[in-house]
């Protein structure tokens, strides 16, 4: 496990070297290490953000100095603290990190599914078969990023893997459900994007007035439920 600086107020903890060959194992290792770091309650830490194989730990240098670190040794002081608690990860190795199961209602109708036909053509399936496959799988939120609350979901059926668009769209509506490579995701806010849009949900995935503002979190289990246009409006 390596610890490297990320600017002057954050560091990266490298939990695993690879993700593609064992995504669920990598996610489990990252989530367990996040728990260890949260339980440690290091002084000055403001956020702990998990990703595919790493964890970013953000901190306020002045508060770390106030806790006993020398101004020129803030990174080394925190890194040493982290290394001392890493052994605690062994104590929870056999535990299951609680994972919520979230159902996302999705309307796959043509007006919301700009690229459903393209995905179907790439997979050699009908549009309905793509919808059935996409909504039958169970996914895991590997991390949030790109835009606030955007979930990167692993678990996409292999036959639905579709390359990102060569020319991204300048604007993707909020709630759009899309496929990018071997992942699926949901655009929480209106933004540019290059993923293949196959449907839309009316759920609001990011609300800055709430705490936490993101509807989903790393580690969540997600299933999509196909709904009609009428259900979407309701």
Assess contact for 4 and 79: CB atoms under 8 A: no
Element of type H or E holding 81: helix 74-85
What's the average model confidence in pLDDT over 187-195?
Answer: 97
> Quick one: tokens of 69?
């670190």
Enter the pTM of the model.
Answer: 0.83
Whether residue 203 has pLDDT greater than 70? yes
d(CA 190, CA 176): 9
What is the Rg, in whole angstroms, of the alpha carbon atoms belonging to the chain? 20
Q: What are the tens digits of pLDDT across the range 10-22?
A: 999 999 887 766 6
Q: What are the tens digits of pLDDT across the range 107-130?
A: 999 999 999 999 999 999 999 999
d(CA 54, CA 68): 27
Whether residue 94 has pLDDT greater than 70? no
| Confidence label for 99 from pLDDT (cuts 50, 70 and 90) | confident
Domain spanning 101-233: which superfamily?
Cyclophilin-like (2.40.100.10)
The CATH architecture annotation of domain 2-92 reads 2-Layer Sandwich (3.30)
Whether residue 71 has pLDDT greater than 70? yes
Domain boundaries, the chain: 2-92, 101-233
């Amino acid at each position: 496990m390596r610890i490297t600086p990320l600017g002057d107020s954050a560091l990266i903890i490298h939990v695993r070297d690879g993700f593609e060959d064992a995504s669920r194992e990598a996610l489990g290792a990252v989530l367990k290490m996040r728990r260890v770091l949260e339980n440690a309650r290091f002084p000055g830490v403001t956020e702990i953000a998990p990703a595919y194989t790493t964890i970013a730990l953000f901190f306020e240098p002045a508060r770390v100095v106030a806790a006993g670190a020398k101004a020129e040794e803030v990174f080394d002081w925190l890194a040493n603290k982290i290394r001392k608690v890493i052994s605690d990860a062994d104590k929870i190795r056999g535990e299951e990190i609680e994972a919520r199961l979230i159902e996302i209602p999705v309307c796959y109708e043509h007006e919301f599914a700009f690229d459903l036909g393209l995905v179907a053509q790439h997979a050699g399936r009908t549009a309905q078969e793509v919808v059935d496959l996409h909504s039958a799988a169970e996914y895991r939120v590997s991390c949030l990023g790109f835009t606030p609350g955007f979930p990167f979901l692993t678990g996409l059926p292999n036959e639905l893997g579709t390359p990102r668009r060569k020319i991204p769209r300048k604007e993707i509506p909020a709630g759009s459900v899309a496929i990018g490579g071997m992942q699926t995701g949901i655009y929480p806010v209106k933004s540019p994007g290059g993923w293949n849009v196959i449907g839309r949900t009316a759920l609001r995935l990011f609300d800055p007035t709430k705490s936490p503002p993101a509807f989903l979190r790393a580690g969540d289990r997600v299933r999509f439920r196909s709904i009609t246009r009428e259900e979407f409006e309701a």
